[in-house]
Amino acid sequence: MATTYYSKNHEYIREEDGTYVLGISEFAQKELGDITYVELPAVGAEFAGGDVCCTVESVKAVAEVYAPVALKAVAVNEALEDRPELVNEAAQGDGWLLKVELVDAGALAELMDQAAYDAMEK
């Protein structure tokens, strides 16, 4: 089973079949409420760790999604254009935001594993 890593800002990143998937955590989507729009970057866009890479809009707020580590977008979840609610339905499943290449996979060690994320005061 692939390890999922979390940032303190509630983004996750998980390795799947040799690529990495980025999205927001189940906790984050619950806090945002009904997602109405997701702004995704262009494929090929590069981000340093901590850069805003996406924006998620809900009936409550607009939230910035930060790159947890330096990365390059290699695919975006085009299904979110017509169905942004997928983030609410399965934030860590079909509601993923980006598929990415990592600049330095060793940087994942700076993120939290599931146990540390669950223990974090939210």
Q: Which domains can be identified in the chain, with CATH numbers? A: 4-103 (2.40.50.100)
Look over the chain and give the mean of its residue pLDDT values, rounded to a whole number. Answer: 95
**Statement: residue 28 has pLDDT above 60:** yes
Distance CA 59, CA 119 (A): 28
pTM of the entire predicted model: 0.94
Distance CA 25, CA 88 (A): 10
Distance CA 83, CA 54 (A): 16
**Statement: residue 1 has pLDDT above 60:** no
**Interval 102-112 mean pLDDT:** 94
- What percentage of the chain has pLDDT greater than the value 70? 99
Distance CA 114, CA 19 (A): 19
Q: Is the dihedral of CA 84, 90, 91, 96 positive or negative?
A: negative
Read off the pLDDT of residues 36-54 as tens digits, 9 standing for 90 and up. 999 999 999 999 999 999 9
Name residue 58's beta-bridge partners: 35
